[in-house]
Amino acid sequence: MSNIILFLPIILILSGVLAIIIPKRIRKIYLLIIVVTIPLLLIKSNNILDRVVYDWFGDGSYNLVLEINYTKLLFFILLLVSIIIYSFANLSSNETEEPMLLISGGGMALAIFAGDFITFFIGWEIMSWSSYIPLINRNKDVKAARRYLVYGLFGAAMILTGILLAGLESSFEFTEFVVSKSSYFAIPFLITGFLLKSGIMPLHHWIPSVYNEASDTLSSFFSGALSKAGIYGFMLLFILYPHNLLGINTYISWLGAFTALFATFRAIMQVEIKKLLAWSSIAQLGYIVASLGLGTAEGVGAGLYHTVLHTTIKLLLFIVIAGVINRTGKTRFDELGGLIKQMPFSFIAVLIGIIALAGMPPLGGFASKWAIYSALLSSGKVFELIVIIAASTAAFLYNFKLIYGIFLGHPTQCIPENTKEIKWGYILGSIIPLIILIFTGLFPSYVYKFINPVLNESGFNQLLQNNYKILSSSMGEYNGFVVMTTFGITFAVILLLFSLIKSKSRNAHRLDIAYAGEIPNESYPLHFGYGLGREIRRIPFIGFWLSKSTGKFYAYIHSLMVQISSVVRVIFTGDITTFLYILIIGLAVFWVFVSGGSV
């Protein structure tokens, strides 16, 4: 039975190809059936760890290997949850991208299950081009697809260079990998490719426009699944190479911390909902990479914990936002507002999402943040911790902007009376992440049951936890169960006492607010959707960094190249007469050299 699990990538890709010819009405049910049977297969198989080898040329020179170990299983489960939630939400949406989703998911599964570099690269490429195709022809931002293609090709070229360098003096297979001088030089290339996929600065430039351009439910797949392919690549490096050779990771860790800080500031400035979520994804992946780059068991464990939680939170947020956009047709904060009465479930779902995203207790988001901080503290990295704390605190602003701009405030272009709750597919898709978030809030160290085998395989010590309720590290303990029950009981008691107060509440009209002596009417612009948080530009330090952008940096390099090439243009003009002169002079020089001047 476990052999079926091994061939799941190929089954997914083939079913994706099959889905192209299936009529569009049946595609949604088809996708749902396929993705729901996979967990059943996983549960029923009793011996998961397995391996299959395929001799490519028949003479044993190159083997294509598929294998499952606990690391691969963890990332495959993250991918699977993303696809399942996508398929639930897809039932209510109008998009028909199921074939490309299956092929992309299959490609990522192939890259995850790969036991040798060739299969890894094949899976990586399949994942990349099949996620590019749904971006074309959507007509919102025509450059987004091209940008994704160019960045994706650059990343793939880097990875290919790394793979070829690694395979020069060693076999491509992971189990027979030999660390040599050329494979040591492969590390920067491989890391660059993985950083690009994860979206770390300065290779993040493609993410905001691509997440905005993709269809709303597909953005959840991008953020929840595809960005984790880069994280899987990092874990692969930890497995293959001895850890003392991965000294570059300290610099990668700093890169992650600064990504978190600057991407958070950018997220606060956004006016489009999905771009805010995209910048938020970049920032969260900065936390993960900063933690993974520490190279200690605590750091890698905390990074993996945050990976799991980030996938959950972004799936929840993207799916609910997709539902809101589907229902209202508006995608900007200054076009929405005041929808809390019409969409109470969405409000509560987004509220739990932002509490977890901001890392506030009592939900699970705090546990992963605390694990990251403990890891940074026990490695003694105070300055990096300060940068990450700054990012964490600034994150409260964009989290509040997300929930205020859509649900609170005053209605702008969307008439609340005509708006209903989001469709049932989106509600169904958001239930699993909600349950996971509340569960990890109560039992924060349960996830370590899945992370410890991964740590073992990567060559780190395991972080054994005694009690699911308590998350312990070398710097102390966090009892999630006590915190959540305390908060709940305190809230209930205070609410009870507060309700016993005899004064009655009178509901005032929406426009009946304390407005400095005036009474506003409908024509007053009272919704703070566009500009909320944008005043951080006035803070000199933040405003300075916000005025610099990676796009302008690349444009600057482009203009440098143009200037250099215009210098070359002095000699190599486009004029044919210059070419004739050079040809004649060159022939003369050649004649002199060859024949010594004799005729």
Q: Could you say which residues in the range 33-52 bind another protein, by CB under 8 A?
A: none
Cα–Cα distance measured from residue 374 to residue 351, given in angstroms and rounded to the nearest whole number: 26
Which of these ranges, 132-140, 154-162, 369-377, 418-426, lies near another protein under the rule CB under 8 A?
369-377
Nearer to another protein, 144 or 271 (CB): 271
Residues 404-463 that bind another protein (CB under 8 A): 404, 407-410
Given 126, 385, 402, 455, the residue binding another protein (CB under 8 A): 385
Given 142, 157, 431, 482, the residue binding another protein (CB under 8 A): 482
CA-to-CA dists, residue 99 to 17, 73, 366, 564, 569, angstroms: 6, 24, 37, 45, 48
Residues 391-410 that bind another protein (CB under 8 A): 393-394, 396-397, 400, 403-404, 407-410
Nearer to another protein, 57 or 498 (CB): 498
Preceding omega of 242 cis (within 30 degrees of 0) = no
Using left for φ > 0, alpha for ψ between -120 and 50, and beta otherwise, residue 75 falls in alpha
Smallest gap from residue 489 Cβ to another protein (A) = 9
**In contact, 306 and 371? CB cutoff 8 Å:** yes
Cα–Cα distance measured from residue 317 to residue 352, given in angstroms and rounded to the nearest whole number: 9
Nearer to another protein, 39 or 476 (CB): 476
Nearer to another protein, 115 or 353 (CB): 353
Residues 317-346 that bind another protein (CB under 8 A): 338, 340-341
Given 56, 70, 345, 487, the residue binding another protein (CB under 8 A): 487
Nearer to another protein, 20 or 492 (CB): 492
Given 194, 333, 373, 443, the residue binding another protein (CB under 8 A): 373
66 phi/psi in degrees, rounded to 5: -115, 130
Smallest gap from residue 495 Cβ to another protein (A) = 5
Smallest gap from residue 373 Cβ to another protein (A) = 6
Smallest gap from residue 418 Cβ to another protein (A) = 19
Smallest gap from residue 544 Cβ to another protein (A) = 11
Nearer to another protein, 83 or 290 (CB): 290
Instruction: List beta partners, residue 64.
Output: 54
Given 1, 168, 435, 494, the residue binding another protein (CB under 8 A): 494
Which of these ranges, 63-71, 87-95, 102-110, 485-493, lies near another protein under the rule CB under 8 A?
485-493
**In contact, 195 and 293? CB cutoff 8 Å:** no
Smallest gap from residue 388 Cβ to another protein (A) = 9
Binding of residue 593 to another protein (CB under 8 A) = no
Instruction: List beta partners, residue 473.
Output: 476
- How many residues of this chain bind another protein (CB under 8 A)? 73
Amino acid type, 17 = V
Cα dihedral 157, 305, 312, 212, rounded to 10, equals -40
Which of these ranges, 95-103, 150-158, 362-370, 442-450, lies near another protein under the rule CB under 8 A?
362-370
Which of these ranges, 47-55, 87-95, 420-428, 486-494, lies near another protein under the rule CB under 8 A?
486-494
Smallest gap from residue 396 Cβ to another protein (A) = 5
Nearer to another protein, 219 or 291 (CB): 291
Using left for φ > 0, alpha for ψ between -120 and 50, and beta otherwise, residue 409 falls in left
Q: 398-434 burial by CB neighbour count: b if 16+ within 10 A, else e?
A: bbbbbbbbbbbbbbbebeeeebebbbebbbbbbebbb
**In contact, 280 and 318? CB cutoff 8 Å:** no
Among the listed residues 346, 284, 278, the one whose alpha carbon sits nearest the alpha carbon of residue 309: 284
Smallest gap from residue 471 Cβ to another protein (A) = 10
Binding of residue 505 to another protein (CB under 8 A) = yes
Smallest gap from residue 386 Cβ to another protein (A) = 6
Among the listed residues 331, 480, 336, the one whose alpha carbon sits nearest the alpha carbon of residue 419: 336
Cα dihedral 280, 281, 287, 293, rounded to 10, equals -150
Nearer to another protein, 35 or 367 (CB): 367
Smallest gap from residue 34 Cβ to another protein (A) = 40
Given 143, 506, 568, 593, the residue binding another protein (CB under 8 A): 506
CA angle, corner 200, sides to 197 and 201, nearest 5? 130
Smallest gap from residue 522 Cβ to another protein (A) = 13
Given 21, 40, 43, 508, the residue binding another protein (CB under 8 A): 508
Instruction: List beta partners, residue 378.
Output: none
Given 7, 491, 554, 572, the residue binding another protein (CB under 8 A): 491
Nearer to another protein, 505 or 566 (CB): 505
Residues 520-539 that bind another protein (CB under 8 A): 526-528, 532-533, 535-536, 538-539
Cα–Cα distance measured from residue 265 to residue 279, given in angstroms and rounded to the nearest whole number: 9
Binding of residue 498 to another protein (CB under 8 A) = yes
Nearer to another protein, 180 or 378 (CB): 378
Smallest gap from residue 25 Cβ to another protein (A) = 40
Nearer to another protein, 183 or 419 (CB): 419
216: CB partners within 8 A, 6+ apart = 93, 274, 318, 321, 322, 325, 326
Instruction: List beta partners, residue 50.
Output: 68
Binding of residue 546 to another protein (CB under 8 A) = no
Given 360, 432, 434, 546, the residue binding another protein (CB under 8 A): 360
Nearer to another protein, 366 or 426 (CB): 366
Cα–Cα distance measured from residue 465 to residue 475, given in angstroms and rounded to the nearest whole number: 14
| Cα-only R_g, the chain | 27
**In contact, 403 and 269? CB cutoff 8 Å:** no
54: CB partners within 8 A, 6+ apart = 63, 64, 65, 66
Which of these ranges, 52-60, 320-328, 358-366, 558-566, lies near another protein under the rule CB under 8 A?
358-366
Instruction: List beta partners, residue 52.
Output: 66
Cα–Cα distance measured from residue 243 to residue 246, given in angstroms and rounded to the nearest whole number: 5
